[in-house]
Amino acid sequence: MTNAKFAKLFDTVQLNDGITLQNRIVLAPMTHSSSNEDLSVSDAELSYYERRTGKLGLAITAVAHVMPGGIGFQNQFAAFGEKNLPGLTKLATSLKKGGAKAVLQIFHAGIQGPRALVPNGDVVGPSAIELQDGSQSRELSNEEIESIILDFGRATELAIRAGFDGVEIHGANGYLIQQFFSGWSNRREDKWGGSVEQRLTFPLAVVDEVQRAASEHAKMPFIVGYRFSPEEPQEEGLTMDHTFALLKALAAKNLSYLHVSLMEYNSKPRRGGDLERTRLEQIVEVSGNVPVIGVGGIHTPEQAVEAIELGAAMVALGRELIVEPDWVQKVEAGQEDDIAVTLTADDQNRLVIPDQLWGMIIGLPGWFPVVEAAAE
């Protein structure tokens, strides 16, 4: 029996497109680098997703790149080309088995694309920027920008054909869409750059094209969400005030939901906005009637409820659903004391985690709470 103080996690949620989610709990999009070498969906990925999406309200995939030049990670599935349709179809089916709505996250890495993975090492962005390796990105031409916008529309059509319930436009974490909005990475002086309003041109054009593709090809209501990062560390980078301008523009687009990318759900701003109140509260206020997904460091049902009380309509769990695939079922059954918050080096098979992701979990100290196995 569900503990009364956690009951609100199991409220249904109505998105702006009329689609209803069976509860407020979301699988956060997490890179796992476990696709096949040809960038198609692997059997290991299907098993991984199916193990941890039972009973969720919404399941969002890891990022899928919308064109070859947009790749951001090794072994990351692609959202383009007829050859990728069968794998994406299996993925959508796996995500939906427990009643969750399945959303394909689509993106272009821009200047964050690894030179070794991007065709011909041609790393591109809004402007020529010095990269971490000391080389420079190449500034996109107007024609290339227009073409990438159409690629987002084509990725949306592919997601519809594969049976996904929606797509999430990845405008966060410093990837191409955010690069166009940021004054640090966008130094253009044409229609794609300049003032804050001008720098919104590309993100809003992507939203328009994705919504156009959805209205043209989807026979049922189709989710279009948007993920964003509220601040950047660079002096010329994004502040909360810039993000408020983005949110007001996105609210006018009648998106299904907005998804804030935070390290900690209850963190406060560094620059802009009210420095004494959480980012999440302020984001919800500015977003108007668009439901907001809160994410960041949520492990316990108490933390999930706190994020809801800060105004989030939904809460996303990332690492916690890897450590505890049965999180939703345990909270629903009143067994929250049995929720695992750590894992051991012996847990890969039990948790159904692909080899590549497991290598990252074990190989990156501090990323996951790995503890010694208890003695028999």
Position 372 scores a pLDDT of 85
Which of the four pLDDT bands, split at 50, 70 and 90, describes residue 374? low
Q: Is 138 exposed, middle or buried (0-12, 13-18, 19+ CB in 10 A)?
A: middle
Indicate whether 191 and 223 sit together in one domain.
yes
Whether the Cβ atoms of residue 264 and residue 279 lie closer than 8 Å to each other: no
Return d(Cα 123, Cα 136) in angstroms, integer. Answer: 8
Could you tell me where the DSSP H helices lie in the chain?
43-52, 85-96, 142-162, 176-181, 196-199, 201-217, 240-251, 279-286, 301-309, 319-323, 327-332, 348-351, 355-363
Indicate whether 165 and 216 sit together in one domain.
yes
Whether the Cβ atoms of residue 342 and residue 323 lie closer than 8 Å to each other: yes
Indicate whether 304 and 356 sit together in one domain.
no
Indicate whether 190 and 286 sit together in one domain.
yes
Indicate whether 33 and 52 sit together in one domain.
yes
Phi, psi (degrees; rounded to nearest 5) at 25:
-100, 130
Indicate whether 319 and 347 sit together in one domain.
no
Domain span holding position 216: 4-336
- CATH code, domain carrying 73: 3.20.20.70
Extract the tokens encoding 56: 């969720």
Phi, psi (degrees; rounded to nearest 5) at 101:
-85, 135
Q: What is the pLDDT of residues 249-281, one digit of tens each?
A: 999 999 999 999 999 999 999 999 999 999 999
DSSP track, 301-360: HHHHHHHHHTT-SEEEESHHHHH-TTHHHHHHTT-GGG----EETT-HHHHT--HHHHHH
Alpha-carbon distances of 78 from 159, 264, 301, 356, rounded to whole Å: 11, 29, 34, 17
Q: Reply yes or no on whether 265 is catalytic.
A: no
Q: What is the pLDDT of residues 279-302, one digit of tens each?
A: 999 999 999 999 999 999 999 999
Indicate whether 12 and 155 sit together in one domain.
yes
Which one of 175, 226, 257, 265 is the catalytic residue?
A: 175
Indicate whether 251 and 364 sit together in one domain.
no
Q: What is the pLDDT of residues 61-97, one digit of tens each?
A: 999 999 999 999 999 999 999 999 999 999 999 999 9
Instruction: For residue 255, give the 3-state DSSP assignment.
Output: coil
Indicate whether 163 and 236 sit together in one domain.
yes
CB atoms within 10 A of CB 285: 15
Return d(Cα 171, Cα 281) in angstroms, integer. Answer: 20
Indicate whether 230 and 376 sit together in one domain.
no
**First-to-final CA distance of the chain:** 32
CB atoms within 10 A of CB 37: 8
Residue 376 has pLDDT above 70, yes or no: no
CB atoms within 10 A of CB 318: 18
Indicate whether 79 and 214 sit together in one domain.
yes
Indicate whether 283 and 368 sit together in one domain.
no
For the chain, what percent of residues have pLDDT higher than 90? 94
Whether the Cβ atoms of residue 232 and residue 182 lie closer than 8 Å to each other: yes
Could you tell me which of 329, 303, 325 has the C-alpha nearest to residue 315? Answer: 303
Overall number of domains in the chain: 2
Nearest 5°: the CA angle 27, 28, 29 is 115
How many alpha carbons fall within 13 Å on the CB side of residue 319?
18
